[in-house]
Structures are given as C-alpha cells and as structure tokens.
Amino acid sequence: MRWLVALLMLFLALPLRSEEVIAGLSQNSVSLTVNFEGSEILIFGAVRREVALPADSDLDVVIAIEGPLQPVVVWRKERRAGIWVNTQSQDIRAAPSFYAVATTRPLAEILSPNADLTHRISTRLAIFEARGGGDAMTRATFTEALIRLREADGLYQQHDGRVDLQRDTLFSTRLTLPKTIVEGRYTARVFLLRDGDVIDEFETFIDVQKAVLERWLTNLAFEQPFLYGLLALGLALFFGWGASALFRLLQS
C-alpha cells in the first residue's frame, strides 16, 4: 500500500491543471543476474482534474516503455544458388533496444497522426531512420522488417486494451521486460489523451544494470580477454578436478 500513499502525496504537492496524469512504477531498477528470466513492471497512476468530466469526449491512457537507443543495420536476404545470402542493407540511425506500448483502446483509434508525430508514441515513429540509403518506401520496408523481427523476440510489444482505466481516474497495467534486454536507462512515459490529442504527459525512468559479478566478468571479457580466458580455463580445471575427486570419493 505504500505506492497509494506516495500517489496521494503527489496529488497534494502538485499544482492543479484542468487534467493531469500522475503515475508510478512498482520498481525503478532491474538487476540483470545470471538467472534473470525477465521482470514484470506494474505501472499505476491517476488523473487529477479541477473541472467536471467532459461529456462529449473519451479519456484514454497510453503507456510506453522505451529502452536505450542503438544504431541498427537491417539486412535483406535472398536465395542465391540454393543458399540464403545478405544482398541489401539499410542503416537505421537509432532504434529502441526495447519498446512496449499499452493502451486503453486500440492505438490507431485514439491517437491522431499529428500527436503521434509530435510525441513519437507508436513503435514505427519511435525508430529514427537514416536519411540516405534509398527512397522513403525502401527505408520504410526495412523499418517494418526490424519491427517484425523484434516483435518475434518479444523486444517490441503492442498491447491494445491492456490499460485498465477505472471511472476515468485510476489506471494500471503490467508490462514485461524480457530476459534479452540490454542494460541502460529505460524511459517510461504515460500519456493522457482526449479526441486524439495528448493533453498531459508523465515521464519516469527504470535503471537496468548487470549485477556486480556479471558486470565485473563482462568488463574483464572485453577489457582483458587474455586474463578472462585464463580465469575461464582455471575454473574449468578446478571444477573438473573437483568433480573427479568427488566421484572417486563416492566410489570408495
């Protein structure tokens, strides 16, 4: 119940506007350990208003979690002489390593194209294409291919109708970070929409980091590969000898 108390304190502390969104997360940090199998994030909040609810428009909530941006090269494969080979590529200037969107209703029905262009909410517009490398249709084809690939891996998610909105005031949803996420700062954005336009936005962050041991091993592998190899060899010999000694002890 602590999150309810924190939400109430935010209500009392902030100045009133006609309608504004206040939100929180069940956790603001995720530790990537060896046995990490993913993490479920609860996003919850409320709509604060100083006027009566409009009777002629619907309120909607859109929640997006975005991972660190990365440059990507997307390849097109073609069958040549009985084998599949890379034949054409497209550079994408920056694409989220992870992107999930949850909504109260289908996104295409509640978000206008202009609002999407301004806030870059949809998965398609969250990706920044390179300006060169073919015409707009070709670039769009490669971008759609990237989206399909990452959707198949669970890295891009679209959850229409997943946000539960009660009495046009309280809302909540759960989004899952898969085990294949990369470390870095993830941005969680909550948008309040009426008639296709964004009327308020709330932003917070999730820090995803490797655990101490995993970070040390990763740094050692990249910065001191020779020492990392010696360490791996030593551990293999030690555990191999230990298993052999234990087996002989059990047989005696």
Q: Is the pLDDT of residue 116 over 70?
A: yes
Q: Is the pLDDT of residue 117 over 90?
A: yes
Structural domain including 153 reads: 2-210
The structure's pTM equals: 0.76
**The tokens of 148 are what?**
């399909």
Mean pLDDT of 161-166: 96
Q: Is the pLDDT of residue 141 over 70?
A: yes
Q: Are residues 173 and 122 in the same domain?
A: yes
Confidence of residue 56 (pLDDT cuts 50, 70, 90): confident
CATH value at residue 132: 2.60.40.3880
Mean pLDDT of 89-104: 94
Give the total number of structural domains in the chain. 2
Q: Are residues 48 and 125 in the same domain?
A: yes
| Helices marked H in the chain | 2-13, 107-110, 113-119, 123-126, 136-152, 212-223, 225-251
Query: How many angstroms separate the first and last alpha carbons of the chain?
Result: 58
Which tops the pLDDT comparison, 12 or 34?
34
Q: Are residues 125 and 173 in the same domain?
A: yes
Q: Are residues 246 and 129 in the same domain?
A: no
Q: Are residues 97 and 43 in the same domain?
A: yes
Looking at the DSSP bridge assignments, the partners of residue 173 are: 43
| Helices marked H in 64-200 | 107-110, 113-119, 123-126, 136-152
Q: Is the pLDDT of residue 80 over 80?
A: no
Q: Are residues 203 and 226 in the same domain?
A: no
Q: Are residues 233 and 190 in the same domain?
A: no
Q: Are residues 109 and 26 in the same domain?
A: yes
Mean pLDDT of 118-144: 85
Q: Are residues 115 and 238 in the same domain?
A: no
Compute the mean pLDDT over every residue in the chain, rounded to the nearest whole number.
Answer: 83
Q: Are residues 180 and 245 in the same domain?
A: no
Q: Is the pLDDT of residue 178 over 70?
A: yes
